[in-house]
Amino acid sequence: MSLGLGDPVSAIRGVGASGERTLRAAGVATLADLLWHLPHRYEDRSNPRAIRTLAALDGAVTVSGRLVQLVERRARNRRLRIVEAVLDDGTGPLPVVWFNQPYLTSALRPGSRVWLHGPVRPARSGWGVQLVGPEWEVEDEDAEPVHLGRIVPMYRKLGTLSGRRVRTLVARALGALGPVGDPLAERLPAGLELPGLGDALRCVHFPDPPAGETALASLFEQLASRRTAAHRRLAFEELLALAVVLERERARRRRQRVAACRITEEIRASARRVLPFSLTDAQRRALGEIVADLQRGYPMARLLQGDVGSGKTIVAALAALVVLASGRQVALLAPTELLAQQHYLTLRRLLQPTPFAPELLIGSLPAAQKRRVRQGLEEGSAHLVVGTHALIEDAVVFGRLGLAIVDEQHRFGVAQRQAMLEKGEAPHLLVMTATPIPRSLALSLYGDLDVSVIDEMPPGRRAVRTVLRDDSARPRLAEFLRKEVAAGGQAYWVVPLVEESEKISARAIATHVRAVRQALAGVRVEAVHGRTPPEEREAVMAAFSAGEIGVLCATTVIEVGVDVPNASVMVIENAERFGLAQLHQLRGRVGRGRRRSFCVLLTGADCSEEARRRLEVIAATSDGFRIAEEDFRQRGPGELTGLRQWGRPEFVVASLWVHRRELEAARALAAEAGRRGELDALAKLGSGPGGVGPVVPAG
Ligand code: ADP
Ligand code: MG
């Protein structure tokens, strides 16, 4: 009788009560669970080597032949038990030795044909070679080999079960598995050539050997990068689950009702009064999309994406104005206190000609002040608030929150975005990100959002000239900075500092400032870091904005959002310690005004060749999108990946980067189902990890 994916693991031959308990404890209850425990790598043990050709430096080899001898002996004076054997494959005899595996004398028999795989070592006799502690498998006339003589899957342990034991169980499960129902078969996207579920589950564990050496090499490349058809099919299952979650979120939001904003002539007039410059076409388009959303009867959920310096703030401010004018509150969430303070000042200035004034709510404010702001928000007398995480604390209650804006969304998680939304009854949501992330990632992180893109820089911007320099360039750099400041420019000088403690950062920054002051006699040099008290930070930033400070030494607190258009030079110490996207963000602090701008990447003495090449990518392009892709390629998806953000388990096989085509296809399928109101039906067709049937709990 054949088994099905939903059968319990106890149905597998050799899994008794204790095996079942062990597997269950490891989260494996059914055949499907077991088969979703995928190999983490594969070894090619398909071609046995001729014994005659073995040499002591060969490393691990696979051989096959007949055991012509098998004895156990005890090492003298030691408790070591040794099994010795000789294998003959017709080209010569090969001594084999196992330590402390006495059961082998009963598992193996002289005369039987076996496969062995293990390291070759010089023989003890001094003549020739021997095989030490190899994996073994007895040849079976009627069955394919499992552990040897093929491309062999390597597994991580499941509880106390060894990788080899897992392999045995997987092979038995697959052997006993009947035809696998494939509910998604009809819906698989045509262009991707995805195999059926049953085939995928088989091949992902035991890939079919290809014909020819080059085919073998390319198969191994695909296996390693999880790009085989089987891997892609299983990834599709997982990505579809994600796509359904996102689509459901979108549908849920559309069912909510809010009062539509009306755009009156009065609002138009005050918008014109607020605008310090005319918008770029891209800004105008984005604003148009946002305002159209605000006029609908359900809450907006929109991502405003635009490279560093493209001018997202003013667009957000105008959106805020529309909501404020309709009598509802607006909250702007920023990832750092520094940025919150800056936004607060910007909005205060911008909104001067309107009846609305912003409040600031950040953790480091005196308690009494925070209390006052919170009270204003609750009573509704405060219209607009700018703040950090302090905004999403429980103590913060809004009277009638109409719009939540999240700046630099990539610094937050979905959970924080969600917490902000829960502060109101179905408020509009506008999230902004300056990190242009690869489309595939955008789809998963912001897949429940509509997207507006600002793909144009404000007029008059010139590319920031970026150079790589080492220590020897310091005297010339100092000279250059003195001249630049004398000519009316300003500079940031960033140090890579983990802001672990107040003391350490204060001291490290102080040392840095002293060195810079010494090098730049006559120039006013000040510093900010994450632990600078808020009043001092505000004073320093205000002085820098006003052009009173020549060089501002800083940690990465200035990485996001800081906007001082007159700043023209960005110096980055130990640039090799930063990620590419981070460097791009930092560089984005200059080149914001009409001044010709520079970015100097200083490399430390221990900067590797590889790190230099990375930095050259930054020097060569100012295209944030390309940099983000490169960063992503180099560092991998990091913690940004999909399902966990949505409170779902992490992917087993899917990678948002590797399987981006599958992701897009899954998204298209889910979106189509969403339009037809068939999301729940689609979810039921999934066969992702965790068993057969719906992977996505009913929404
Ligand atoms: P980001 O998109 O990185 O948040 P900002 O909103 O901080 O960018 O804008 C960067 C700078 O460009 C600011 O100094 C802002 O005043 C200026 N700016 C924005 N839009 C325009 C425009 N249309 N014309 C001129 N300057 C602009
Ligand atoms: Mg910004």
Residue 505 is predicted with a pLDDT of: 67
Report the number of distinct structural domains present in the chain.
Answer: 5
Residue 158 has pLDDT above 90, yes or no: yes
DSSP three-state, residue 316: helix
Residue 423 lies in a domain: yes
pLDDT band at 694 (very low <50, low <70, confident <90, very high): very low
Structure tokens at 96: 């084999």
CATH number of the domain that 482 lies in? 3.40.50.300
Ligand 1 atom 19: residue of nearest CA: 311
Residue 128 is predicted with a pLDDT of: 86
Q: How far, in Å, from the CA of 243 to the mean position of ligand 2? A: 29
Ligand 1 atom 18: residue of nearest CA: 311
Residue 643 lies in a domain: no
Q: How far, in Å, from the CA of 695 to the mean position of ligand 2? A: 38
Residue 604 lies in a domain: yes
pLDDT band at 564 (very low <50, low <70, confident <90, very high): very high
Q: Which atom of ligand 1 is nearest to the CA of 279?
A: 23
In whole angstroms, give the CA distance from residue 131 to residue 122: 9
pLDDT digits 0-9 by tens, 336-375: 888 999 999 999 999 999 999 999 999 989 999 999 999 9
Q: Do 339 and 561 form a contact (C-beta atoms < 8 A)?
A: yes
In a shared domain, residues 330 and 433: yes
Q: What are the strands, taking DSSP E only, across 464-513?
A: 465-469, 490-494
What kind and span of H or E run contains 242?
helix 229-255
Taking ligand 2, which is a single-atom ion, which protein residues have CB atoms under 5 Å away?
561
In a shared domain, residues 136 and 197: no
pTM, two decimal places: 0.73
For residues 489 and 451, which has the higher predicted lDDT (pLDDT)?
489
pLDDT digits 0-9 by tens, 344-354: 999 999 999 99
User: How large a percentage of the chain has pLDDT more than 70?
Assistant: 93
Residue 537 is predicted with a pLDDT of: 86
Residue 202 is predicted with a pLDDT of: 96
pLDDT digits 0-9 by tens, 99-145: 988 889 888 999 999 999 999 998 877 788 999 999 999 988 777 88
pLDDT digits 0-9 by tens, 591-634: 988 889 999 999 988 888 888 988 998 899 888 777 877 776 66
In a shared domain, residues 337 and 404: yes
Q: Tell which of 577, 604, 621 closes a domain.
A: 621
In a shared domain, residues 188 and 217: yes
Q: Tell which of 621, 638, 663 closes a domain.
A: 621
In a shared domain, residues 236 and 327: no
Which of 543, 441, 537, 555 is closest to 497 using CA atoms?
555
DSSP three-state, residue 522: coil
**Which residues are paired to 490 by β-bridges?**
567
Residue 502 is predicted with a pLDDT of: 61
Which of 189, 187, 185 is closest to 200 using CA atoms?
185
Greatest mean pLDDT range, 169-178, 203-212, 458-467, 618-627 = 169-178
Ligand 1 atom 21: residue of nearest CA: 458
Residue 699 lies in a domain: no
Which of 518, 330, 539, 303 is closest to 527 using CA atoms?
539
For residues 74 and 602, which has the higher predicted lDDT (pLDDT)?
602
Residue 441 is predicted with a pLDDT of: 65
Residue 555 lies in a domain: yes
Q: How far, in Å, from the CA of 561 to the mean position of ligand 2? A: 4
Structure tokens at 287: 């604003």
Structure tokens at 693: 């049937």
Dump the DSSP string for 535-548. Answer: HHHHHHHHHHHTT-
Cα-Cα-Cα-Cα dihedral of 609, 613, 619, 624, to 10°? Answer: -140
- Per-residue CA distances from 488 to 83, 462, 483, 550, 585 (Å): 83, 17, 9, 8, 23
In a shared domain, residues 519 and 614: yes
Q: Which atom of ligand 1 is nearest to the CA of 306?
A: 2
In whole angstroms, give the CA distance from residue 533 to residue 537: 6
Residue 535 is predicted with a pLDDT of: 85
Residue 155 lies in a domain: no
Residue 443 is predicted with a pLDDT of: 63
Query: Which residues surround ligand 1 with Cβ inside 6 Å?
Result: 277, 279-280, 283, 306, 308-314, 434, 458, 563, 565, 592
Q: How far, in Å, from the CA of 359 to the mean position of ligand 1? A: 22
Residue 455 has pLDDT above 90, yes or no: no
Ligand 1 atom 22: residue of nearest CA: 458
Ligand 1 atom 3: residue of nearest CA: 309
* Domain range for 384: 265-454
Q: Best substitution site from 274, 277, 307 to test ligand 1's pocket, by max atoms within 8 Å of Cβ?
A: 277
The mean per-residue pLDDT over the stretch 241-260 comes to: 88
Residue 333 is predicted with a pLDDT of: 96
Q: Please calculate the CA angle 684-687-693 and round it to the nearest 5 degrees.
A: 45
Q: What are phi and psi of 77, to 5 degrees?
A: 65, 10
In a shared domain, residues 62 and 139: yes
Residue 396 lies in a domain: yes
In a shared domain, residues 138 and 248: no
Residue 1 has pLDDT above 80, yes or no: no
Average pLDDT, the chain: 88
Residue 663 is predicted with a pLDDT of: 87
pLDDT digits 0-9 by tens, 291-345: 999 999 999 999 998 888 899 999 999 999 999 999 999 999 999 888 999 999 9
Least confident of 152-156, 574-578, 594-598, 695-699: 695-699
Ligand 1 atom 26: residue of nearest CA: 458
In a shared domain, residues 486 and 614: yes
Q: Which atom of ligand 1 is nearest to the CA of 277?
A: 24
CATH number of the domain that 129 lies in? 2.40.50.140
pLDDT band at 699 (very low <50, low <70, confident <90, very high): very low
pLDDT digits 0-9 by tens, 399-448: 999 999 999 877 787 788 889 999 999 999 999 987 656 655 666 666 77
Q: How far, in Å, from the CA of 447 to the mean position of ligand 1? A: 26
Residue 149 is predicted with a pLDDT of: 84
Residue 649 is predicted with a pLDDT of: 58
Residue 214 is predicted with a pLDDT of: 83
Q: How far, in Å, from the CA of 305 to the mean position of ligand 2? A: 10
Residue 638 has pLDDT above 70, yes or no: no
In whole angstroms, give the CA distance from residue 512 to residue 523: 15
Residue 57 is predicted with a pLDDT of: 76
Residue 696 has pLDDT above 90, yes or no: no
In a shared domain, residues 244 and 293: no
Residue 482 is predicted with a pLDDT of: 95
In a shared domain, residues 77 and 37: no
In a shared domain, residues 402 and 283: yes
Q: Tell which of 454, 480, 513 closes a domain.
A: 454
DSSP three-state, residue 688: coil
Residue 164 lies in a domain: no
In whole angstroms, give the CA distance from residue 30 to residue 35: 9
Q: How far, in Å, from the CA of 339 to the mean position of ligand 2? A: 8
